[in-house]
Amino acid sequence: MAAMVRVGLSGRVATVTMDRPDVHNAFNAELIAELTAALARAGADPEVRAVVLAAEGKSFSAGADLNWMRAMAAFGEAENQADALKLADLMRTLAYLPKPTIARIQGSAFGGGVGLIACCDVALASDEARFGLTESKLGLVPAVISPYVVAAIGARHARRWFQSGALFDAPRALAMNLVHEIMPADALDGAVERELDAMLKAGPTAMLVAKRLVEGIFGRDEPAQRKLDEQTAALIARLRVSMEGQEGLTAFLEKRPPNWL
């Protein structure tokens, strides 16, 4: 099986690239495992000073892929909780990486893709990208990614987009702080390079302390996040096996409206 994640090193920068362009870099168990491992290695490598999270193809990430969704629908509650905890491990690994992180968002991001963006220290996006937290349309909620997304966009925006599941464009993502800058797609690499140049001129210990300072101010260091992960994984597991969650997943897979419409 071909690798779903590529890692490239250029000087002191590791670029971790999701490489499933044929399915818009959608999540499955293998991608989650490979991405978690690649990020952990980059974080532990003393030669790496910064990490860029990127994606191959037209999209950044479409969220869950169809086969992973079929597995969700078939799993019991305990299996769903274990599955959700693996996604939580990925998000926590990225969010608490001991290196500065930049999301390079060349295309659209949905669900877990939005979670990855929110976990990065800096997010730079194409002005043509679209975003969505569409889980509510399946009778679910973006539980596992919620701590990071709410931290990025705030409770007020989260209430709106978590409930509606509507899509929003790059200017809206910029206005509510999901991304830091938007630009034409052909200017994206230059913007990433400028951000990296600034980061590599800063003291590495100071950057790590700054990152941990922000976490401490908001009362969510890594041990606290692990406890929260248990709660969000349990929540999504319950919803996936609920009548509404089962109907939403089944309707989506069968390409029909759910019974609440």
Active site residues: 135
Do strands 5-10 and 13-18 pair parallel, antiparallel, or not at all (unpaired)? Answer: antiparallel
Encoding tokens for residue 114? 């939005």
Could you tell me where the beta strands, DSSP code E, fall in the chain? Answer: 5-10, 13-18, 50-55, 101-105, 109-110, 122-126, 130-132, 167-169, 181-183
Q: Could you tell me if 189 and 105 are in contact, meaning their C-beta atoms sit under 8 angstroms apart? A: no
Could you tell me where the beta strands, DSSP code E, fall in 164-216? Answer: 167-169, 181-183
CA distance 50 to 55: 17
Q: Could you tell me if 133 and 108 are in contact, meaning their C-beta atoms sit under 8 angstroms apart? A: no
* Secondary structure letter of residue 65 according to DSSP: -
Q: Could you tell me if 77 and 235 are in contact, meaning their C-beta atoms sit under 8 angstroms apart? A: no
Torsional sign, CA 216, 221, 227, 229? positive
Q: Could you tell me if 68 and 20 are in contact, meaning their C-beta atoms sit under 8 angstroms apart? A: no
CA distance 59 to 24: 5
CA distance 125 to 55: 12
Q: Could you tell me if 244 and 260 are in contact, meaning their C-beta atoms sit under 8 angstroms apart? A: yes
